Structure 1
């Protein structure tokens, strides 16, 4: 007699929402946001398509839940790579961790930032951005960065690593050997940090 799938077993325990997100994570890991089709998610979870609407109003709401889960995983890696060091070393590790996650998980990276609207000051920001904000605040706490130079610094920092990741995944750097991409990533992060700290001089 065939065994029930993990998703269906989880569903019977009342955790269909979590099961649907898990299935969606599997689908998007290699296929990115375009791989998320509600009918496919329902089939893999072992439920009818209509059952998905008890937890997600539409594809976009499921995609948002998946993006949040991916952002949390990404931030966990960034924090893991950054602990515990000087504030400058933590900021460097956070930036390189961001790029590293993008290179390791291009499908998930596509989903994580496919529809991002939350910004600092709204009370809800993406976990990777929160990790960056914490690292920048650490520079201020250590006296390496003035409060005036800190204001808005997340934007050039985030733009640098996000832009680099896109160049590596979809632009001219995608054909460059990984060792060279890694070296260029380190140069990019070091340059943005040096420029940021120079504004405090």
Structure 2
């Protein structure tokens, strides 16, 4: 139970009557307690909840990546929430209740930095995945020292690994994903500037099985 020391204008956290106080990113807010209802969910409500659950489960596996990749687009929400809203609109496929993610329609980053040119992925040495691309440094906003963002998501484990590594001018990078050995992973490639201020639209590269 919360207590107001300065009247209704006081910030508080907890429950006062039918109002709950909390804060998010330093902003205090209040909300009313929802009323319980005995009504059964409609089919449409069940469908929307199932889609949300699918998007949320996938999104949480990429939480840290989404916070980085959508930092310039998440206004008054987290990068993960922004990404999940796009996934719900564009990347959910299947019929109720068996919804799935269309990975080819998922972006893991979005921004004004020039994206990768002719990117590709292939299995590497044991436990590794090799990413390649053509350096387009000097074109538009691309610079030689932009750093690659290599992403591998394992649907079987619902886990994501990503690393910020090789620069744009190198044209290749090996990503150690030994935790996913013997399993199929979905992959993406993006770039971020050396100072971390700009990110590029990611490119989905497809599925590869880790040796």
TM-score (norm 2): 0.22
Higher helix content, 1 or 2: 1
TM-score (norm 1): 0.23
RCO higher in structure (CA 8 A, sep ≥6)? 1
Bigger radius of gyration: 2
